[in-house]
Copies of this chain bind each other. A is one copy, B any other.
């Protein structure tokens, strides 16, 4: 199975309102709820691709209960989230029906105790035994040390399990130094990590900092992958209109599934780009349109070359 880690899981709530007006009162016309947090989104896409996935991380409180009840209904997803005393955070996406724009409100997450974090590390090391790959995804809740991902990367490498890291800021900086197999920063995260806004230079710099492979997601420009085997750029066939929520998580699922299927890098990247674009094209935030994925997959352009041996 593929293991995904979501330390700061979320109950993702979407509100439809006729129009969002600051300082006014709004009747919400439609409420939808689903399990969220990057690792859970990655798991959902991996499951849709036919992979068995185990999700772990931390969840607690009534919001955590709601989240886990919903996870129980997702096929091919096994829930091994660890209970914590604090309540799982909510994220609220307020969709303005007039403009189609979304305003996002993200709670910080539960306060995690040192004992809870220690218990998680033990559980994670157990889970690694049966994993073919692991993805470490998203922000850290309060109380989890900023070097948490570095610890989890080292444990995966000690267990010889390929590990992908998708986070930002200081947790990314520390995590990269622990030498993960893959990091997948977006342009902003890459610039924050390296100080450079020039993608090729920044991607190379991120590798020098410790990552074996850097796959930078450059929005409409696609993906730039600098790997030990070579450098490739994958570009979507056309500009896709829609909601970009979850597009990065779908790209991670593409990379991870390609890794465990031992696909060559150009195919992994094509899959990631097609999944990502099919997620933007889907009417439901964070889900991908299967027909659009199949159609796009054949049209992704991948350029680049293997390194001279």
Contact = CB atoms under 8 A, between A and B. Distances in A.
A20 interface: yes
Interface stretch (A103-111, A194-202, A270-278): A103-111
A103 B62 contact: no
Contacts of A205: none
Nearest to A15: B105
Q: For chain A, which range describes its interface: under 10, 10 to 19, 20 to 34, or 35 or more residues? A: 20 to 34
A106 B102 CA distance: 17
A96 B28 CA distance: 20
How many copies of the shown chain assemble into the complex? 2
A27 interface: yes
Closest 5 CB pairs of A and B: A25-B104, A23-B101, A62-B62, A62-B66, A28-B107
Contacts of A103: 20-26
Contacts of A104: 24-26
A204 interface: no
Contacts of A243: none
Nearest to A102: B23
A92 B20 CA distance: 13
B31 A107 contact: yes
Contacts of A108: 27-29, 31
Contact of A63 (B20, B23, B62): B62
A22 B101 contact: yes
A51 interface: no
A27 B62 contact: no
Interface in A82-117: 92, 94, 96, 99, 101-108
A159 B99 CA distance: 52
A20 B66 CA distance: 28
